[in-house]
Amino acid sequence: MKSKKGTIILELEKIYRKILNFKTGTTNQLFGYKDYHKFVIISTSRTGSTFLMSLLNKHPNIICEGEVFKKLNGKSCLNIWNSLFSKRPKSIKQVGFKLFYFHPYEDDQAVWDYLLKDKTIKIIHLKRKNQFRVYLSQRIGLKTKQWTESKYKPHNLSTQDKLVSIDVLESKKAIEEIITYENKTDSQFKEHSMHELFYEDLEKDHLKEIAQAYEFLKVPYAEVEVVNTKQNKETVKQLVSNFEELEKGYKNSSFEWMIFG
């Protein structure tokens, strides 16, 4: 239960953020401009999209918003689009956001039309080679309620805390769905300038991968600090309570290799 002092602090922080946002918005309207380029990260959850977004946001010439079209909260896609691509400080050269394959959750899907029609918008298609690990990470996140981790604030969860049981058929269906989304995105945006980026490569050498992303966005290289850390370093066998059943269900399938990582 929150203390009275804690509640007051949270309310003061909300007021401060509102004042800061108002000040920033007013400054941008008076002195900002719209002569920047646009980009979008298209992906699904558990592919390192938050990690990538944090690296991009550390660049002085880039603003990358989060999942602003996930839930419209009574607004239209057009309202959010116009707000997102409003005036920005003159130092900003690229403004973008993160969009998952299945967003928005509402019926208004106009954001996809805006992206498809504007061929000048650059697409960063973020994928994970091991799509089973995407599904596994999602299941663990649902159990632990922990979706990101910072090296400054580690969760210190044990392997037992993260242990989950996996439905073989459901997991295969999820992998197939991800692959379908990936192929559809590659096809839909084949006339756009697209940069394909893999989670595994970003994890292995983030300096090389982020440098290529900067080059793709045509901004100068900048040193960035890595704050986010990988949450599930264990093997699939260590994280899945019914691994023998999983191994049997995946045997001789095209996804078999995925469960041995």
Domain boundaries, the chain: 1-31, 32-260
* CA–CA separation, 41 and 39 (whole Å): 7
Query: Is the CATH number of domain 32-260 2.40.50?
Result: no
What pLDDT digit, counting tens, does each position of 39-57 carry? Answer: 999 999 999 999 999 999 9
Q: Which amino acid is at 48?
A: G
* CA–CA separation, 82 and 111 (whole Å): 11
Residue 100 DSSP label: E
Burial 17-32 (b: 16+ CB within 10 A, else e): eeeeeeeeeeebeeeb
* CA–CA separation, 201 and 135 (whole Å): 19
CB 178 within 8 A of CB 47: no
How buried is residue 112: exposed, middle or buried, by Cβ count under 10 Å (0-12/13-18/19+)? Answer: middle
* CA–CA separation, 79 and 75 (whole Å): 6
Bond into 220 cis (ω within 30): no
The residue ranking higher by pLDDT, 109 or 30, is: 109
What pLDDT digit, counting tens, does each position of 82-128 carry? Answer: 999 999 999 999 999 999 999 999 999 999 999 999 999 999 999 99
222: its two tokens: 């900048």
What pLDDT digit, counting tens, does each position of 194-210 carry? Answer: 999 999 999 999 999 99
DSSP calls for 80-98: HHHHHTS-B-TT--EEEEE
Q: What is the mean pLDDT of the chain?
A: 90
For residue 29, is pLDDT > 50? yes
What pLDDT digit, counting tens, does each position of 218-249 carry? Answer: 999 998 877 767 788 899 999 999 999 999 99
